Amino acid sequence: MTRTPPYRLSTEAEPAVDAGRVLLCVTHGEAEGEPAMWELRTGLPHLAGPQREWWLSETPLTDHSTGELGLRTNADIGFGQLRIPESALRADCAASCEEAFARILALLPTTGLPHLLRSWIYLGHIHAGEGDDERYRQFCIGRGRALTAAGLDANAFPAATVIGRPGDGACIHFMAGREPAEAIENPRQTSAFDYPRRYGPQPPSFVRAQRTSWGELIVSGTAAVVGHESRHPDDTAAQLLETERNLAALREAAGGDWQPLRTVVYLRDPAELALVDRERLGGAVSVLQGDVCRPELMVECEALYRRAGRN
């Protein structure tokens, strides 16, 4: 068991670090110049809080990047990214997303980090297409096929965020581990992989949270979903409160006291920034403009917690 976190997260704009120890730097909003190969730009407008997050390693890195797929690892953890061009999504969204996840899942076992723990998908035109042709639903079909083909059952699904961003194309960001983490589901919510047919032909393949062997709780994008239904349609203030109840229920399900390290709030309407109480969420809180995958959902939060009493 790994007892200490195999990475260090910094939300400083420019931490004093050696570029050789950067697993991945995620930049939201506007940025100048060409990104470094270890930098990922989400394209999500930045509204408040840290604009960059640095996933740093205390130990030397190995670069496993091949072509478009970037992946840097230490002995315990790896962070990577893969872009899907708009042309591929237009030609066949499900197939291009399946191929992207299949590439990631094929590479991981060769790196000593076979477990896909966490994924973030920044998806352009998330609501384009009608009914089951909607881009998000097609994405779910592709992801589901790739995870199933890799032999993963629901327990081994990653925690996830899928969020719409302005502009074209998609970008996948992921975290992989040497050891598996423990899937935690939310007793207030139907597991996403058990959602009924009305939300799409392929239920979303993710778990609500992953509890790592080093005492962190990695929480997926969490919204005002109770059971499988969206609550408080279009009411952002009420959705935020419901979302916080969901986060609290997940922490309780994971056992013990959890201290917030980092939260990201995705708001559909940037004019509603004042509704977000960053103090109450705790830790480093970034607020971004992003479109949650169900149109009636106005807000979503993801979080990273550490077991209280550790540092």
Q: What residue ranges bind ligand 3EB (CB under 6 A)?
A: 160-162, 192, 204, 206, 220-221, 223, 225, 293
Radius of gyration, CA atoms only, the chain = 18
> CB of residue 14 vs ligand 3EB: minimum separation in angstroms?
30
Residue ranges of the alpha helices (H) in the chain? 86-91, 93-107, 135-149, 236-254, 278-281
Q: Which of 141, 138, 176, 133 is nearest to 158 (CA)?
A: 176
Measured from the CB atom, is 117 or 225 closer to ligand 3EB? 225
Q: Which amino acid is located at 101 in the chain?
A: F
- Ramachandran sector of residue 241 (left: φ over 0; alpha: ψ -120 to 50; beta: rest): alpha
- Count H helices, E strands: the chain? 5, 20
Locate 120 and state its tokens.
């973030």
Measured from the CB atom, is 161 or 289 closer to ligand 3EB? 161
Catalytic residues: 300
Q: Which amino acid is located at 65 in the chain?
A: S
> CB of residue 181 vs ligand 3EB: minimum separation in angstroms?
16
> CB of residue 157 vs ligand 3EB: minimum separation in angstroms?
9
CB 288 within 8 A of CB 45: yes
Q: Which amino acid is located at 29 in the chain?
A: G
Measured from the CB atom, is 6 or 158 closer to ligand 3EB? 158
Sheet of 70-73: strands edge to edge? Answer: 62-63, 70-73, 77-84, 170-177, 115-124, 159-165, 291-292
Measured from the CB atom, is 21 or 118 closer to ligand 3EB? 118
Alpha-carbon dihedral sign for residues 191, 193, 197, 200: positive
> CB of residue 198 vs ligand 3EB: minimum separation in angstroms?
13
> CB of residue 223 vs ligand 3EB: minimum separation in angstroms?
4
CB 103 within 8 A of CB 62: no
Instruction: Quote the CA–CA distance of 279 and 215 in Å, as a whole number.
Output: 23
Locate 189 and state its tokens.
């919510």
Closest residue to ligand 3EB in the complex (CB): 221
Locate 113 and state its tokens.
């980090």
Measured from the CB atom, is 44 or 293 closer to ligand 3EB? 293
Locate 200 and state its tokens.
């799409």
> CB of residue 221 vs ligand 3EB: minimum separation in angstroms?
3
Measured from the CB atom, is 22 or 297 closer to ligand 3EB? 297
